[in-house]
Structure 1
Amino acid sequence: MEMSEKATFGENDHKRETICIFGTGDFGRSLGMRLLQSGHPVIFGSRNPQNSTLLPSGAQVLTHAEALKECKIIFLALHRENYDFLLALSNLLDGKVLVDVSNNLRMNQYPESNAQYLSQLLPKAIVVKGFNTVSAWALQSGSLDASNQVFVCGDDDKSKQQVMDVARSLGLTPLDRGSLQAAKEIENYPLQLFPMWRLPLAIAFGLTVFFFVYCVVIDVIHPYVTKNSDVSYKLAISVPNRIFPNVSLILLSLVYLPGVIAAFIQLQRGTKYKRFPDWLDRWMLCRKQLGLVALAYAFLHVLYTFIIPTRISVRWRWIHSMIEESKLGHVTLLLCTAHAALFGWNRFLQSKWYRWGLPQAYMLGIVIPCVVLVLKLIQITPCVDRKIIRIRQGWERIPKTKQALV
């Protein structure tokens, strides 16, 4: 008898929340299938419960009113134009958590967000915005080749946490975006073109313009002004082939710099259970895109290297580009930086290479990579590395005020 009671208790302890879904389209069916695979009982609310042949097996199909009596969390996989039917069910929605997953056809289509409109329509319900950035395909494929981030916002912290727990149970990564005021921004995300590429492309463009102007000044304008020598032909090949490796090397270092900064922040805080600053979060989210842009610049460097007559330095550049295309992480960065330093080892102390007092472009290109390598060297020293590993395994530093109380 005791064993039977313990077994029942264990089963109930791990039982997942029953989820209701209004909407039997592609997204609603995909969400229901994923919830069932994760162990959640699923109930579909439908105007016609008998017509349920397309719904995933294992899900229960009831009328809207019957489904609301069984569940506390309801996912609305509906368009904004279809919200009106919920008014007839308002007495059953008192205290229920409504998860609005809708999107619009264009950015800022309405004065208020769909979630805010829903909250005004049903003031007794608790509206949470979320799951609108996850596609039906991503739910069906288990987030393979798709982002697993779920942006969530809402005015009730407890309800918002419940929705985030559902997201985690599906293997997704919920990100708290604050109050329901953020819903309009979240609804615009799916309509933005390559949002994670904007920052990397902006950085690459800025670096390209800077190095182009810089190289033109020291390689084209300086000879013309001082020696009346026209070397404008360099604009076609030589100048771009100075730009590409420098930009590529800096972008490669920017891939690893946020991870190093994050480690030092955790060291200073003595815990991993605090959010990083927003700018660092954003930076870390686009590291893959930074790496791909760096690879593209390295590839351009390879193409331009084929055009230049083969010299010893060109062979070194070819090796440099091949290293950059590998996946050796910090070793790649170290070798690339070492190559750039060796390439101009005899120019650092010779004043003739400092035209108008300006250093060569590659000298500027290795500044950030050297900073990253120095910080990483500090980080991998045994005493620092052991502490970082402990923090990332869950250890927390106890503040002195709490130590005194203990």
Structure 2
Amino acid sequence: MAVEGTLSVSNSPLISLRNGGPVPGGGGGGTGGAFRPNGNRRSVAILGSGDFARALAARLLSAGYAVAVGSRDPKAAAERMPPQAELLGRAEAAASAALVVVALHHEHYATLAELGGALAGRVLVDVSNRSPAQRREQRRRKRGGGSGGGDGRTQRSNAEFLAEMFPHSHVVKAFNVVSAWALQGGPRDSSKRVPVCGDSVEARAAVMQLARDLGFAPLDMGALSSAASVEELPLRLFPLWRFPVLLCLALSLFFFLYAFVHEVVHPFAVHGRSEFYKIPVEVVNATLPVVALSLLALVYVPGALAAALQLWHATKWRHFPPWLDRWLRCRKQLGLLAFFYAGLHAIYSLALPLRRSYRYRLLDDAYRQVQSGLTSSWDEEQVWRMETYISLGIMALGLMVLLAITSLPSVSDALNWREFSFIQSKLGVVALAVSTLHALTFGWRRAFEAEHYHFHLPPVFVLALPLPCATLLARLLLALPCCSRPLERVRRGHEGSPFRGTCGAAARRPIGDITSIV
């Protein structure tokens, strides 16, 4: 296999997409003359004249390629294309370059049928995605349990269909995850990754080199059979966010209703006071920190469960249950949602003194103090409580900001694994501990005073404490030498008898020879 986009073919010179002109000495064992030299070796043809074709042509020209655009109406297309691009008919454009980008929708592939001879031996780059109609038809057939009738076009990828149309060409799937905007503005962070798949190794290498020349990071996905999954990538709507968002909404609804009953319904039912004005701000602000702390705890619960399972089975090779595996893969989303709720809580808390109800209440307290003859309402204990819990809240939010920033691809890519693990694991647990202390100092003694139990229900903040406290306790137990040492052995590939209450013996067991480590 050639390197850096060099194509090895039989009965023809060795062609390089990077260097101009053929390089002598090629041949043997390639694709049977698939990539015949045809003029400038840095030339690319584009079939289509839409927005994507225009953006790709401009990007190719800026990278130093000669671009030929094939259109059914070259004169009309010339108004939309960069002036440096050569506008030709489709047949002429297909014959002008060894690499041809098919920038057409799937439903327009039939218009290319007459180009079979011109496209023979060429590398065809399919950049299309499945249309909504194709996806609806595919879902309908899946629900019906059928394998698809007729020609089965909705059951295979667009790239495979194109390969069947042109069996003498080398079809490669690429650039379907890149938008016209990304081509115009240049790749940014995660948008740099371009999956590439195709049955011809040489054709795949050529397209990957083209992607590098355009500033993207190609990702080799193997054979063309992977094209179906590649075509699904840009059409997925937050697949890893579905469970975290649903869980977040469920927790929000539960805690909101709980706070509504506790803070609004109880005063109205027992004392006849209408405090429904609390719903927009106070009830919402009572819900936000509870959900944020619960979500942050749920980020570290699956890690503790996974460690416990590895200790119990004394192996790291046993698969986790599917529910735990899905939970582990959505921890980043849970953490970002926790940060979002914590940020909203901070904003709502800063807005509390701005409300008219707060000012009325402050004036009433001052009037009652004057009427009772008090010269000072200073409460040393409450002052210290307030100062402490505000300070802890600020520190917790700052740590969550750090966790959120390091989860960004542009930041995480700049960290090695040890640095990333230290921030997300060690500092993450510290953030959970500080957040829990913030909730504890906020509640202070109210968790033990009967007057704060409305309808015999504890205050809202009490509901946020069990899960993070249990998570911190589990992390503390796993950090003990009797658990951390056998866990380290298991994660280094050692296997032994199942872990069932033998942590002391396991901790004293020798590490063993390095040859026994998988």
TM-score (ref. length: structure 1): 0.62
Give the secondary structure class of the aligned counterpart of 1:67. coil
**For residue 160 of structure 2, what is the aligned residue in structure 1?**
119
Structure 1 residues 116-155: aligned runs within 5 Å: 116-117=157-158, 119-123=160-164, 124=167, 129-139=173-183, 141=185, 143-144=187-188, 147-148=191-192, 150=194
Residue 100 of structure 2 corresponds to residue 78 of structure 1 = no
Q: 1:65 aligns with which of 76, 82, 95?
A: 95
1:242 CA drift (Å): 1.2
**For residue 358 of structure 1, what is the aligned residue in structure 2?**
457
Residue 4 of structure 2 corresponds to residue 15 of structure 1 = yes
Tell me the distance in 1 between the aligned counterparts of 2:432 and 2:250: 21
- In the alignment of these two chains, the number of paired residues is 365
- Aligned partner letter, 2:349: H
Larger radius of gyration: 2
**For residue 235 of structure 2, what is the aligned residue in structure 1?**
188
Tell me the distance in 2 between the aligned counterparts of 1:31 and 1:146: 18
Deviations 1:281-335, CA, capped at 9 Å, x for gaps: 3553675465335423432233235544788466566545533542344243332
Deviations 1:18-77, CA, capped at 9 Å, x for gaps: 67563572442366479x59xxxx675644999985469xxxxx9423534xx5xx5433
Tell me the distance in 1 between the aligned counterparts of 2:474 and 2:272: 43
The verdict on how the C-alpha distance between 1:30 and 1:145 changes in structure 2, with shifts beyond 3 A counting, is farther
Give the secondary structure class of the aligned counterpart of 2:97. helix
Tell me the distance in 2 between the aligned counterparts of 1:160 and 1:349: 72
Tell me the distance in 1 between the aligned counterparts of 2:433 and 2:287: 19
1:279 CA drift (Å): 5.5
- Aligned partner letter, 2:439: A
Does the 8 Å contact 1:241/1:304 carry over to 2?
no
- Aligned partner letter, 1:100: D
Structure 1 alignment gaps of length 5 or more: 1-11, 57-61
Does the 8 Å contact 2:196/2:204 carry over to 1?
no
- Aligned partner letter, 1:211: F
1:365 CA drift (Å): 1.8
The verdict on how the C-alpha distance between 1:244 and 1:287 changes in structure 2, with shifts beyond 3 A counting, is closer
The verdict on how the C-alpha distance between 1:15 and 1:105 changes in structure 2, with shifts beyond 3 A counting, is closer
Q: 1:303 aligns with which of 332, 351, 359?
A: 351
Q: 2:275 aligns with which of 225, 232, 239?
A: 232
Deviations 1:197-244, CA, capped at 9 Å, x for gaps: 76655444332221111112233334555x444353443543223112
Structure 2 alignment gaps of length 5 or more: 7-15, 18-43, 87-91, 138-152, 363-381, 404-427, 497-514
Does the 8 Å contact 2:55/2:184 carry over to 1?
no
Does the 8 Å contact 2:264/2:274 carry over to 1?
yes
Deviations 1:103-150, CA, capped at 9 Å, x for gaps: 578675885669735533541367565532322443455533664455
1:340 CA drift (Å): 0.5
1:98 CA drift (Å): 4.5
Tell me the distance in 1 between the aligned counterparts of 2:195 and 2:209: 13
1:338 CA drift (Å): 0.7
1:336 CA drift (Å): 1.9
Does the 8 Å contact 1:43/1:67 carry over to 2?
no
Tell me the distance in 1 between the aligned counterparts of 2:106 and 2:229: 17
Tell me the distance in 1 between the aligned counterparts of 2:350 and 2:194: 39
Give the secondary structure class of the aligned counterpart of 1:22. strand
Does the 8 Å contact 1:149/1:173 carry over to 2?
yes
- Aligned partner letter, 1:304: L
**For residue 337 of structure 1, what is the aligned residue in structure 2?**
436
- Aligned partner letter, 1:65: A
**For residue 322 of structure 1, what is the aligned residue in structure 2?**
394
**For residue 213 of structure 1, what is the aligned residue in structure 2?**
257
- Aligned partner letter, 1:22: I
Residue 496 of structure 2 corresponds to residue 397 of structure 1 = no
